Amino acid sequence: MEERKTNMPLLGDKFPSLKGVKTTKGVMNIPEDLEGRWVVLFSHPADFTPVCTTEFVAFAKRQKEFDALNCTLIGMSVDQIFSHIKWVEWIEENLGVKIEFPIIAANDEIAAKLGMLHPGKGTNTVRAVFIIDPKGVVRLTIYYPQEIGRNMDEILRALKALQLSDEKGVAVPAGWPNNELIEDKVIIPPATDIESAKERLKSETCFDWWFCYKEND
């Protein structure tokens, strides 16, 4: 039996090109078709399952927030396209929630390419999350087991934090914007030489030269 090779895109890698994939919104080339936009691509184990249904509803209810951040949501599982279409119809008819984002009908090759098949967790794809920047670079990955649903507010928070870090050249503290030490402020990158370390203590708000922060303005 041929051994299946499973890869896992690393942070800073180009997201593996998925060309000609079938989705509920037509054939797409990802990330090429979405150049210039942020992408949150997330896999789910299977259509017509309870936890996945709660996740899709949660993503759909935050669709406008992702849109406002120049971000496209994309779902994915190894179910066939007709299953995706029927499930989306069921969610709208029975739960009153319309799924606007595309859902990829993946195959085992695509799932393995993205590290979504974990042999120790069965044959379904795990709950993978990829945040991809406008240049097609992987900026964040999270993997959840099948039995644990994701927190979409955390995914939104991480996206906002990445955009802020890129724009302002700052780091973002734990739990931002509700950090226990510095609240919604952001962290200034540490000084890289003795002189600038001394000067920083005079001009910035610091616990010490290596831990300085400022208002997020």
**Segment 114-162, tens digit of pLDDT:** 777 665 555 566 788 999 999 999 999 998 888 899 999 999 999 999 9
> Can the peptide bond before residue 177 be classed as cis, meaning omega within 30 degrees of 0?
yes
Does the residue 161 lie in any domain?
Answer: no
What is the amino acid identity at position 154? Answer: E
The Cα–Cα gap between 115 and 112 comes to 5
If asked whether residues 77 and 140 sit together in one domain, one would say: yes
Q: Which of 156, 190, 153 is nearest to 170 (CA)?
A: 190
Asked about 52 being catalytic, the answer comes back as yes
Q: What is the pLDDT of residues 75-117, one digit of tens each?
A: 998 889 999 999 999 999 999 999 999 999 987 777 777 777 6
If asked whether residues 123 and 182 sit together in one domain, one would say: no
- What CATH number is given to the structural domain containing 196? 3.30.1020.10
**Helix or strand holding residue 84 (H, E):** helix 81-95
According to the model, what pLDDT value does residue 2 have?
41
> Can the peptide bond before residue 31 be classed as cis, meaning omega within 30 degrees of 0?
yes
- What CATH number is given to the structural domain containing 74? 3.40.30.10
Range of the domain at 96: 18-150
Domain count along the chain: 2
According to the model, what pLDDT value does residue 3 have?
45
pLDDT for residue 44 is more than 70: yes
Q: Pick the catalytic residue: 52, 71, 206, 212? A: 52
Percent above pLDDT 70 for the chain: 92
